[in-house]
Structure 1
């Protein structure tokens, strides 16, 4: 379930090319998926969260109740604690960030189906810290005190909803460079997600 056409087509192509997987349905929005799930089921459900009609979490919850044997994995841009924990509580067993994924979705689906819980490392760390009740790691840099002009530009783009790939194109750099800027921003603002970074930057008056 993915509303972005390019991403949806990429996943569908990867699944179609697999000798172990079979695509049974590809929904564009949440309501389409809910209607399909009323009379059908699948071994695995891949779900985005930011859909144009309803939250993917509502679909995850419905699927988990109606088809408890279905393994559910989130593939999303959202990396904040509220979305991650709500997805897991609703029934998801895996959580991957789009910006951190490689092209081998088959490997992640096979891992999920075999009883694993695929998670982007930063998401796994967030979940562990939550359940261990660990404090956020301390940093020596004063919050907001050392952002470079380029980091401020990247942060402003992110706060306006630009994707990492779009920021990379605007600055004519690689997406790896954008990830490095984001990582530096997280450390300097002592945060662990884009939403936290935007909140702290807004509070400090760093956003345009």
Structure 2
């Protein structure tokens, strides 16, 4: 299956560079390029790609607004790009529905991997960006006790959500719970479905916001 991608960045050289890298892959096709957020949203609505690669800072409509418009109106998943690992918009972009977040100095192979992972329904955040997200949480007041929103989860599903919030992979969660990776995938799927979440990134945000895990890392 070919992964169809829209690439949006207001810097032409950056945009064409990313498009060239992705188009060179046998399983990826760049169906459109856009120089601003509004053009990106229009391209996504016309072409319905699998993934939109969005610069977070663009004219007319920034990447966050474009991301929100794209994820709220269709199945296209988004990967955000930024020059700065300390970008204050990380949290807002993830809340807008971004499924991936990368720095613009990402290596060629990592860019391609991110597009494939996100197209496959998973999420991916560069390690330095993940640290920024954690810092955002730790700067907030200590969370309240878990909210009623989590009552729909079984005890094992709550454990799974807790491990997700701590950044564990499926394999690591399987080891912690002494179950198979297949069982973990089932638990993760149930967590996302019951809580109405798009992906693992939103699950992490939910775990903090509902008080399942405290900003300091306790649970």
Q: TM-score range by the shorter chain?
A: 0.5 to 0.7
Aligned pairs, number:
132
TM-score by length of 1: 0.58
2:108 pairs with 1:103: yes
Post-superposition Cα deviations, 1:183-202, rounded to whole Å, max 9, x if no partner, equal xxxxxxxxxxxxxxxxxxxx
Structure 2 counterpart of 1:122, from 124, 128, 134: 128
Cα drift, residue 134 of structure 1: 6.8
When the two chains are superposed, the root-mean-square deviation of aligned CA atoms in Å is 1.9
CA 1:50–1:81 in structure 2 vs 1: closer, same or farther (change >3 Å)?
closer
| Unpaired runs of at least 5, structure 2 | 1-7, 141-219
- Identify the structure with the greater strand proportion: 2
The verdict on how the C-alpha distance between 1:128 and 1:28 changes in structure 2, with shifts beyond 3 A counting, is: same
CA distance in 2, matches of 1:95, 1:123: 7
Alignment of 1:12-23 (within 5 A): 12-23=19-30
The structure 2 residue matched to 1:9, chosen from 16, 26, 29, is 16
**Cross-structure match for 1:58:** 65
SS in 1 for 2:33: coil
For residues 142-174 of structure 1, the C-alpha deviation after alignment (integer angstroms, 9 at most, x for no partner) is: xxxxxxxxxxxxxxxxxxxxxxxxxxxxxxxxx
Q: Which residue of 1 aligns with 2:53?
A: 46
In structure 2, how many angstroms separate the alpha carbons of the residues matched to 1:60 and 1:89?
10
Instruction: Give the 4+ runs in structure 1 shifted more than 4 A.
Output: none
Q: Is the contact made by 2:22 and 2:30 (CA closer than 8 Å) also made in structure 1?
A: yes
The answer on whether the counterparts of 2:91 and 2:136 sit within 8 Å (CA) in structure 1 is no
Task: Write the mapping of 1:98-177 to structure 2, written as runs, cut at 5 A.
Answer: 98-99=104-105, 101-104=106-109, 105-131=111-137, 133=138
C-alpha distance in 1, partners of 2:41/2:114? 24
Once the 2 structures are TM-superposed, how far is the Cα of residue 81 of structure 1 from its aligned partner?
5.5
Q: 1:24 aligns with which of 23, 31, 37?
A: 31
Contact 2:64 2:96 in 1 (8 A): yes
Counterpart position of 1:36: 43
